Amino acid sequence: MTMVDASSQGIVGVSIRETTLRLTEISRANGEAKITRLAQGRVRAPLQITSFKDNALIHKFAEDVNRLYEVSDFQARRAVFTLDSNAVLIKKIPVDMSLKGSRLKDHVDWEVEQCVINSLTDYHIAYEYYEPGAGQEFAEVVVVIVRKMVVDFLKEIFHNTDLRLRAVDVDVFAAQRVVEANYDFAETPWVALVDVRRENLQFSILQNAKFFAAQEVEYPLEDQNDVTNMDRDFLPRIISKELRRIVLENKLGKGVDELNAIFVYGDHVTDRLVEALQNSHNVRIDRANPFRRLKTAPVVGDLSMQENPETFVVSVGAALKKL
């Protein structure tokens, strides 16, 4: 029997939401992923867009990440960090099927130049090519654009920890990875994911387990500490309205019930919110559960952390990323 060294084979998914830090370790053996550790803690400052210009925060974030990593007895050293989608630009573009290799890259670069202010040398550009589906005349490319200063900031954080940053992920893609790993898409070609945050909602749509669209919607809160008292009517109404708009604008059907499933996740999901959505629509609506199918090891951590599985969606999704 061959023993697997978790320090080399495992991946630690790292997410920071507001001031909450979450780590998830996933190890793979015989092609099967298993959650081996979970941890939740705090950082001393929220990671925001303005944070990336303040180098004084690098050591604070590094100390907070390393402290939680060490006290939780993690073994894996390879890390994937999930950026908030606010910090990146996601663009989906149609491309001619004949474009491949360097010609495709040149076309993607040209498309990016049309929507950024600075030189391309100031950005990291990643993209994924989607073959055309039945009846489609064009292939599609999903492009993610992030400033190099953001990635450099994250590299400096992890350079001062026991972890080694191997990839930077985006929260919407991490969440979609979790849903793909835990739910059956055979009869659910259109799936919506809703990230319920403190100050905004992030919507993303999957078509046959592939990224289709993403949209952020801000919502005003008179009292930022009173989210749970507002969601009985306000948040369900906003979510329903935006989902309907997305369905109509993308010609997916006539309303929300044209979707096959809706999964909500994030730190501000409540029973009342889920119940209100379920009562409003004739479609499957659930909290996204990253532990639904993925196996967990006995030493995974405090079991109470699994009582709100939707809060670990992003860090689990990051750890599921294949490097």
163: domain CATH number is 3.30.420.40
On whether both 93 and 60 belong to a single domain, the answer is no
> What percent of the chain lies above the pLDDT cut of 70?
90
Any domain includes 1: no
Q: Are residues 301 and 153 in the same domain?
A: yes
Indicate the number of domains in the chain. Answer: 3
Which residue range(s) make up the domain with 228? Answer: 184-287
Indicate the residue type of 77: R
> Per-residue confidence at 226, pLDDT binned at 50, 70, 90?
low
Whether residues 211 and 250 share a domain: the answer is: yes
Q: Residue 120's domain is classified under what CATH number?
A: 3.30.1490.300
Looking at the structure, tell me whether residues 77 and 171 fall in a common domain: yes
> pTM of the entire structure?
0.90
Q: Is position 19 within any domain?
A: yes
If asked whether residues 26 and 73 sit together in one domain, one would say yes
Across the beta sheet with 210-218, what order do the strands follow?
210-218, 200-207, 190-196, 261-265, 284-287
Residue percentage of the chain with pLDDT more than 90: 76
What is the arithmetic mean of pLDDT over 124-131? 95
Say if residue 189 is in the same domain as residue 264. yes
Give 114: exposed, middle or buried? Use CB within 10 Å, 0-12, 13-18, 19+: exposed
Amino acid identity, residue 48? Q
Instruction: Quote the DSSP letter at residue 144.
Output: E
Are 236 and 280 contacting, i.e. CB atoms less than 8 angstroms apart? yes
The predicted pLDDT at position 134 comes to 75
Question: Residue 285 — very low, low, confident or very high, per pLDDT cuts 50/70/90?
Answer: very high
Beta strand 32-42 with 20-29 is: antiparallel
Task: Please give the pLDDT value at position 264.
Answer: 97
31 plus 168 within the same structural domain: yes
Quick check: 222 pLDDT over 60?
no
